[in-house]
A and B are shown apart, each in its own frame.
Chain A
Amino acid sequence: MRTFAFSRADSIDAAATPADATAFVAGGTTLLDLIKLDVLQPESVVDINALPLKRVERLDDGRLKIGALVTNTDLAHHPEVKAHYPVLSEALLAGASTQLRNMATTAGNVMQRTRCPYYRDPAAKCNRREPGSGCDAMDGINRMNAVLGGSDACIAVHPSDMCVGIAAIGATLTLQGPNGEREVDFADFHRLPGDTPHVEHDLQEGELITALTLDAPLPGAGSHYLKLRDRASYEFALASCAAEITLDGETIRDARIALGGVATKPWRCTEAEAALVGQPAEKASFERAAEIALKDAVPREHNAYKIPLARQAIVRALRNAAQDRTSQRETQETQA
């Protein structure tokens, strides 16, 4: 593995300083993997684990502020997350393995890189890794690649499960940089590849993610995270869906849908959500929403199967979320 300098940041301000070819390390699960492959080539690695970014706190407005360094394991089992954002807990536990979740952090998961095999292979052409070099995935073995949000330059999937749950819930990222603090809507943080797939997110030079704040929970929502993959555990999604739904009787009041495994960024389906409002909570409504969510999908040679798979993921996740909502209501009625 290539050599690099190593230092520890003892304050957020000291860390949030522009420096050439410097990478922050928290859990290290993406960074060290990709340094070993020579995909990432930092000259300097700054350990941020000593920074005070490990708190989870409920804000007065009902939102939940999560420190950048909270591990995936701790977040998945946090009482606030389990009680008010079960879809995020499910998404986190569906991702990676016990060992990786123990190491991986909230901000690190937001920053994780694609698993596209051509990105991970420095001998392959990849516009994301090396701008202008081409894309070997486009006409290669693209079974795992994206059908939504791609461009002529890149069809790499954003691999996170956690981010799919967060996309459905809605959130804000807090970034600390040389010019102070700013907030970015989570939906705007990850970039579509377009002509510049190497620009993966909105983080500027010297900026550090310090927190992720989840929107207030949807009152009375039922939810479900469904992940479909090649093996039962410890595998990236072929398609996944985070769904939340609220009902007035049998009528849908509000719904949230986000997709993973099929898109170049965590994929919120707002048009499909809007089409559900006021509709009966039944299969036909869910199928219409699924049609809308995938209407702009563009398949390549080996990944067309992802379109019906993602549609079915939406239908099943919505159905399970509606049943979750129904069972919650029945529990409340029994208790009342």
Chain B
Amino acid sequence: MDDSVHSRTRAQVAPGTQTLNFTLNGEPRTLEVAPNAVLLDVLREQLGLGGTKKGCDHGQCGACTVHVEGQAMNACLRLAVMCEGQHVTTVEGLARDGELHPVQQHFLECDAYQCGYCTPGQMMSATALLNDERVGTDDASVREAMSGNICRCGAYKNIVEAIQKSRESLSYDATRKEGAA
């Protein structure tokens, strides 16, 4: 089987499109996608959500990072049809009721970008790691967990600062909610 995958015969044109049902930024969506359509391209081209960026298109830069079932993934290496029945969140889904997510707010306040192209992917990785108890809270752990997001402008120092400040405000919010409950 493996040898034939390498074969030089041209593939047949895939038969038609497939129906994809999934939840995107909290909203149920149904759309027709080609079997070989990649999630990143469906988000940008078919759904007009340009926040998720195409950098390398090979899982090497992290600009396309989205959440699938709450976990950070490279949208460039995932077929859209593989998201059937799943929850997908893009950078457009971070803000709630017109209010920026604390991570967005702190990226702004800490000047955690220069050209901004990698920023949506950085923020998606940042929000995922802040929700992941398996990741340590010190700067070194944050840098390691964020290493799949490349910033060519080199804003790394401010990105780590923005994440750590977000952690403080998120835990402050959590404490406040517990107090209110």
Contact = CB atoms under 8 A, between A and B. Distances in A.
B181 interface: no
B18 A99 contact: no
A52 interface: no
Interface string B137-173: 0000001111111000000000000000000000000
Most buried by A among B6, B10, B12, B145: B6
B148 A98 contact: yes
Interface residues of A, number: 51
Contacts of A3: 11-14, 34-36
Contact of B59 (A18, A100, A200, A203): A100
A11 interface: no
A324 interface: no
Contacts, number: 136
Interface stretch (B22-30, B74-82, B94-102, B105-113): B74-82
Contacts of B4: 20-22
Interface string A256-280: 0000000000000000000000000
A40 interface: yes
Most buried by B among A1, A6, A200: A6
A43 B36 CA distance: 11
21 contacts: A1-B36, A1-B38, A3-B35, A3-B36, A19-B1, A23-B5, A25-B79, A29-B77, A32-B78, A36-B58, A43-B11, A47-B81, A47-B82, A97-B149, A98-B128, A98-B129, A98-B146, A98-B147, A99-B73, A102-B73, A200-B2
Contacts of A37: 58
A4 B143 contact: no
A96 interface: yes
A197 to B, nearest CB: 11
Interface of A is mostly: loop
A63 B71 CA distance: 29
Contact of A18 (B1, B57, B72): B1
Interface of A: 1-6, 18-23, 25, 27-29, 32-33, 35-37, 39-43, 45, 47, 49, 73, 77, 96-100, 102-103, 129-130, 198-201, 203, 205-207, 232-234
A6 B38 CA distance: 12
Contacts of B129: 98
